[in-house]
Chain A
Amino acid sequence: EVQLLESGGGLVQPGGSLRLSCAASGFTFSSYAMSWVRQAPGKGLEWVSVISGSGGSTYYADSVKGRFTISRDNSKNTLYLQMNSLRAEDTAVYYCAKKMGIAVAGTGDYWGQGTLVTVSS
């Protein structure tokens, strides 16, 4: 059974940093690309970033480019999102999602339960 468990969310001040983790199990982690999607309170879904199975390819939404870094440790079956220079508009539930193949194309077939990030002074 595919399981994705996000952690690392919390309250942070504007300009601060936070690192989210997503622990994966139930599948061969290195064989699948992974992505992050966020949802501001009461709003719709926003795609944030994607990384290939090898970690060699990464892409970002313009809204986070230069501030967020996606990475993965295939030996630990864990996906990360390093978030720097956080802004109030980054407040959201952050979901990790398993993609359907090793490349970044395609969609996410399984999602975690999400972790809430609140940026506020």
Chain B
Amino acid sequence: ILNVEQSPQSLHVQEGDSTNFTCSFPSSNFYALHWYRWETAKSPEALFVMTLNGDEKKKGRISATLNTKEGYSYLYIKGSQPEDSATYLCAWEDNYGQNFVFGPGTRLSVLP
């Protein structure tokens, strides 16, 4: 069983707070780690795809880091805004092209 886990399951923050959450995944046969933002009633939207150990990606106030040796990635949101409220999914892809596994997501609510 290939486990991709995310924590916390959900969190509530105040507008302006910075926050981060974690995705853990199998470190063997790693090919890529994806982060998606998924708003209710919409389809998931790609944020980042990372392939190299130590990768850091940034998009506006959102950034992500990758550690393939220990099998984790962090997603950071700086100065959270209500429009950041969504479920953030990570997905692990293996190097055989056979496994594409999503984590259960972290549901973020940003309170004004």
Say whether A and B bind each other: no
Binding site for A on B (CB under 8 A): none
Binding site for B on A (CB under 8 A): none
